[in-house]
Amino acid sequence: MRAILNVIWLVLSGFWLALGYLVAGIVCCLLIVTIPFGLASFRIAAYALWPFGRTVTERRTAGFPSLLGNVVWLVFAGWWLALVHVVTGLALCVTIIGIPLGIGNFKMVPVSLLPLGREIVSTQ
For 40-62, how does the pLDDT look when each residue is reduced to its tens digit (9 = 90+)?
A: 999 999 999 988 888 888 888 88
Q: At what angle do helices 35-49 and 99-113 cross, to 10 degrees?
A: 160
Cβ atoms of 117 and 67 within 8 Å: the answer is yes
Cβ atoms of 111 and 81 within 8 Å: the answer is no
State the chain's mean pLDDT as an integer: 90
Assign 26 a pLDDT band (cuts: 50, 70, 90): very high
* Helices assigned H by DSSP within 32-78: 35-49, 64-73
Assign 74 a pLDDT band (cuts: 50, 70, 90): very high
* Maximum alpha-carbon separation in the chain: 45
pLDDT for 63 = 86
Q: How far apart are alpha carbons 124 and 122 in whole angstroms?
A: 6
Identify the sign of the CA torsion 103, 42, 46, 95: positive
The per-residue pLDDT for range 81-101, each reduced to its tens digit, is: 999 999 999 998 998 888 988
> Residue 97: what are its φ and ψ, rounded to 5°?
-65, -30
Assign 37 a pLDDT band (cuts: 50, 70, 90): very high
- Structural domains counted in the chain: 1
pLDDT for 23 = 94
Parent domain of 35: 2-122
Assign 2 a pLDDT band (cuts: 50, 70, 90): confident
